[in-house]
């Protein structure tokens, strides 16, 4: 095996731990990668096998064992075991095999992992805050050892992907999201913190499960819920005043309220609303490069009217206004949304949730997606309903009847919830669909032509936005930052990708994508007076130097 070679330029890190304490620290552990000199000086002789192994050889061993696992949940658990033992190697593996492993550590397999999180739980990662401890939150944050946390991802487990209320089992989401932050934008893993707000659960099966690790009470609501969130925000902001808080997988009744309540108080955003909006807009902009049309020409129908739909719709509206100068009201009139009662219309205004009202159409009632498709004649169809198969053959063929290149985005996760598959979309449009989904689908060859489905993956957006705002110490996260991120991402799609219908860049380029998005976000923050540092002479170099690279450092001995 190739042994690691120490170069004069290799970073040298002082280390206080020795022996088993060093091996048991996942942030410091190298396993068989410790050099002979380190083994001698740090009390490691005899504690690891005698062969000194390079990190690339370790990656090969990991992948060989990964492929021996019997199912996706076993693969997820295996990788999380590595995460718990050796974080540098874990991230090196992910970065080296990003297309293969991202669906395992996040969508779609993370949904299965969350469903069984209490069963597969091995080792604590992150923090748990519950109403039982609300009086101690300010004290609890001191239990976390890192003084310079930069990004916190928090969920209350109420709406995990398309799976609903999973209570404390939802902790798999912040863990996975922060792994994507590290892989995608080079956030220092030591400066990330996953958090679960355990508000109880309305999932009776979980409350009755003897292995469930969360609070076995009905989910808190109203003032009791608000008290826990407020205490949490105050505690983490007091301990880490510059940390970005990302709200993740909160139910619709809370997602909008929390974002509006805290976005002007602390550095925060909601990825389900703003991140999903930006990555979807980027995909549409890429599709319009193929059709040669403008954004403001589109007629856009949403199946589903929750947080994701509102976030996407708001971002599209911002794009229309920036592109063509049309008014807010005119842009909103280009968007139709359906909820469980049919088309969202003005005659339902009194019964509509607040987040649905801006997109209520002055239209007669229409009961279902087919009726709306026939009446509106959409050019873009976006699914955020969690209703598998709801983009039926009848609906898609009806859309294709009036639209030469239908833009179809069935975004519900995981794969089992997708409104249609890539194969169906291409089959029912004779290969004309411009397709992107929430979960990945494989390429398809049709009539001798390769068609590559896009994955409308928030990973293209949130890591770069997060790196940007924490790098320049922005005072707040704005909607314009997400619009700029979407434009930047769409501009990075090459002509060769568009030729095969791919609407997003290859995920192997994610670090370069994130650098460009981070630079664009920083530029905007400096221009708008939101940055908390002096502008570096070379902003791109500044961002790149901050990025964590999963290579072993040499320990000072």
- Which residues are marked as active site? 106, 177
DSSP state of 356: G
Task: List, in sequence order, the alpha helices (H) in 67-171.
Answer: 72-85, 87-96, 98-105, 109-115, 117-120, 137-140
Element housing 455 (H / E): strand 454-455
Q: Give the pair of three-digit tokens for residue 361.
A: 């159409």
Cβ distance 411 to 382 under 8 Å? yes
From CA 385, how far away is CA 421, in angstroms rounded? 15
In whole angstroms, how large is the CA radius of gyration of the chain?
A: 24
- Kindly report the backbone phi and psi dihedral angles of residue 470, in degrees, each rounded to the nearest multiple of 5, phi listed first: -80, -30
State the Cα–Cα distance between residues 253 and 115, nearest whole angstrom.
Answer: 22
Consecutive H or E run containing 462 = helix 462-471
- H-only helix segments in 263-334: 276-291, 307-324, 328-332
Q: How many CA atoms lie within 13 A of 291 on its CB side?
A: 22
DSSP β-ladder status, 444-446 and 449-451 = antiparallel
Question: Rounded distance, CA 43 to CA 17, Å?
Answer: 10
Q: Which of 275, 327, 317 is nearest to 295 (CA)?
A: 317
Residue 40 half-sphere exposure toward CB, CA atoms < 13 A: 4
DSSP 328-391: HHHHHTTEEEEETTEE-BGGGGGGS-GGGGGG-BSS----SHHHHHHHH--SEEEE-S--TT-S
Structure tokens that stand for 33 in this block = 């990668």
Cβ atoms 197, 229 nearer than 8 A: yes
- Any idea what the Cα angle at residue 35 is, between residues 31 and 36, rounded to 5°? 120
Residue 460 C-beta-side C-alpha neighbours within 13 Å: 29
Strands 335-339 and 342-343 come out as antiparallel
Sign, Cα dihedral of 248, 252, 253, 255: positive
Say how many C-beta atoms besides its own lie within 10 A of residue 252's C-beta: 20
Distance CA 519, CA 539 (A): 7
Three-state DSSP state, 436: strand
Check residue 157 and give left, alpha or beta (phi > 0: left; psi -120 to 50: alpha).
left
Is residue 269 within 8 Å of 298, Cβ to Cβ? no
């Amino acid at each position: 095996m190739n042994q690691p070679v120490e170069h004069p330029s290799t970073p040298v890190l002082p280390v206080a731990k020795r022996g088993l304490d060093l091996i048991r620290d996942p942030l410091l552990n190298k396993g068989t990668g410790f050099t002979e000199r380190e083994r001698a000086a740090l009390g490691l002789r005899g504690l690891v096998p005698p062969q000194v192994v390079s990190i690339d050889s370790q990656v090969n061993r990991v992948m060989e064992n990964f492929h021996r696992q019997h199912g996706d949940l076993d693969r997820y658990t295996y990788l999380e075991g590595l995460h718990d033992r050796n974080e540098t190697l874990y991230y090196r593996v992910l970065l080296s095999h990003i297309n293969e492993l991202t669906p395992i550590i996040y969508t779609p397999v993370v949904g299965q992992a969350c469903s069984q999180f209490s069963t597969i739980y091995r080792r604590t990662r992150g923090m748990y805050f519950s109403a039982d401890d609300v009086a101690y939150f300010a004290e609890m944050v001191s239990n976390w050892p890192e003084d310079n946390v930069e990004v916190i991802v928090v969920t209350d487990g109420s709406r995990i992907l398309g799976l609903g209320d999973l209570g404390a089992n939802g902790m798999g989401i912040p863990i996975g999201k922060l792994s994507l932050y590290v892989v995608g934008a080079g956030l220092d893993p030591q400066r990330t913190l996953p958090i679960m707000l355990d508000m109880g659960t309305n999932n009776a099966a979980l409350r009755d499960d003897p292995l469930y690790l969360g609070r076995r009470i009905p989910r808190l609501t109203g003032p009791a819920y608000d008290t826990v969130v407020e205490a949490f925000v105050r505690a983490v902001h007091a301990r880490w005043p510059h940390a970005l808080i990302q709200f993740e997988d909160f139910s619709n009744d809370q997602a909008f309220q929390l974002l509006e309540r805290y976005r002007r108080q602390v550095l925060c955003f909601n990825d389900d609303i703003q991140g999903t909006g930006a990555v979807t807009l980027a995909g549409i902009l890429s599709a319009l490069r193929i059709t040669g049309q403008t954004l403001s020409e589109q007629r856009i129908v949403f199946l589903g009217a929750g947080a994701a739909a509102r976030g996407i719709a708001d971002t599209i509206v911002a794009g229309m206004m920036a592109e063509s100068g049309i008014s807010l009201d005119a842009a909103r009139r280009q968007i139709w949304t359906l909820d469980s009662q049919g088309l969202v219309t003005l005659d339902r205004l009194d019964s509509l949730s607040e987040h649905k009202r801006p997109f209520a159409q002055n239209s007669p009632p229409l009961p279902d997606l087919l009726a709306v498709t026939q009446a509106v004649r959409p050019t873009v169809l976006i699914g955020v309903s969690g209703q598998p198969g709801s983009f039926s053959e009848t609906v898609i063929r009806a859309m294709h009847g009036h639209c030469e290149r239908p833009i179809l985005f069935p975004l519900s996760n995981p794969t089992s919830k997708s409104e249609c598959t890539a194969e169906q979309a291409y089959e029912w449009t004779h290969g004309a669909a411009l397709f992107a989904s929430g979960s990945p689908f494989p390429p398809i060859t049709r009539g001798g032509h390769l068609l590559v489905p896009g994955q409308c993956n928030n990973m293209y957006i949130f890591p770069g936005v997060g790196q940007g705002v924490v790098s320049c110490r922005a005072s707040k996260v704005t909607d314009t930052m997400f619009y700029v991120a979407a434009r930047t991402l769409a501009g990075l799609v090459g002509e060769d990708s568009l030729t095969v219908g791919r609407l997003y860049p290859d995920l192997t380029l994610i670090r370069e994508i994130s650098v460009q998005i981070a630079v664009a976000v920083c530029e905007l923050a400096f221009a708008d007076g939101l940055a908390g540092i002096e502008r570096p002479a070379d902003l791109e170099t500044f961002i790149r130097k901050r990025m964590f690279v999963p290579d072993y450092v040499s320990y000072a001995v």
